[in-house]
Amino acid sequence: MQVQAASSQHGSTQNGKVPVHVAIIMDGNGRWAQKRGLPRLEGHRVGVDCIQKVVETLSDKGVKYITLYAFSTENWSRPQEEVTGILEIFLQALRVQTRAFHDNNVRIVHIGKVDRLGLELQEELAYAQRLTRDNTGITLNVAFDYGGRDEILEAVRKIIHDRVPEEDVSEKLFRRYLFTSDSPDPDLIIRTGGELRISNFLLWQSAYSEYYHTPTFWPDLDSEELERILETFSNRQRRFGRVNPED
């Protein structure tokens, strides 16, 4: 199932009307908390608790790959207290949720930099990936310390390191050097929290993704709204530069 989906990349992943790959910029945790007079970290805490439900809903709808943007390469510039808090919350969530994901046949893949994360988090991510590696259900890419520019530079470095001949550097080869090499490009990118920007997310892979943004803060995104978003996607006409998508 994964092989089939992964081979239908380069923008032709529309599987009937259900997106094969949904990527989400989970934004708005801080404002969700502030609106309630709570510390921003409380928003992050509630935010990670929402992940399981969203994965379940998308999986039930037939989505095969989910990528969640949890922490960007730029998020290190936040106040020390918030960064430390997010790292701790993420570590605890991973400890609690990995087993449940495994029981549901979910394959967990970390995308992003590893070396700047604490040892415990590095180990937990490695464990989650090892444990779920052979699962055949949905693939969950967790973007943590992820940046699209960093990913592209890292790919270039690896290509140079491998001494790939200039004439072999194609789009097909390049995508194999990205963190997302075993997922097709996202069909749909959802941003919660109301901002209209990409914030360094999946810069290469989003070339022909459909965008959807909602003012709803991430902790408030429920199954009904998600289903409406999928419905909207099913009515989009994707042309990939052509006049008629059927050509």
Residue 221 near residue 214 (C-beta atoms within 8 A): yes
Distance between CA 128 and CA 110 in Å, rounded?
9
Rule CB under 6 A: say whether 27 interacts with ligand IPE: yes
Distance between CA 207 and CA 92 in Å, rounded?
34
Rule CB under 5 A: say whether 86 interacts with Mg ion: no
> Which residues are bridge partners to 153 per DSSP?
none
Residue 147 near residue 72 (C-beta atoms within 8 A): yes
Query: Coil, strand or helix: which one is 128?
Result: helix
Residue of the chain from 57, 67, 72, 98 that contacts ligand IPE (CB under 6 A): 72
Query: Annotated catalytic, 141?
Result: no
Rule CB under 6 A: say whether 28 interacts with ligand IPE: yes
| Beta carbon of residue 98, minimum distance to ligand IPE (angstroms, whole number) | 20
Distance between CA 115 and CA 200 in Å, rounded?
19
For residue 219, the 8-state DSSP code is G
Rule CB under 6 A: say whether 93 interacts with ligand IPE: no
**Site mask for ligand IPE (CB under 6 A), range 157-196, x = bound:** ------------------------------------x-x-
Angstrom distances, CA of residue 18 to CA of 60, 86, 93, 188, 231? 11, 32, 29, 10, 9
| Beta carbon of residue 82, minimum distance to ligand IPE (angstroms, whole number) | 8
Rule CB under 6 A: say whether 25 interacts with ligand IPE: yes
Q: Which residues bind ligand IPE (CB under 6 A)?
A: 25-31, 69-72, 75, 86, 193, 195, 197, 199
Q: Which residues bind Mg ion (CB under 5 A)?
A: 27
Catalytic residues: 27, 75
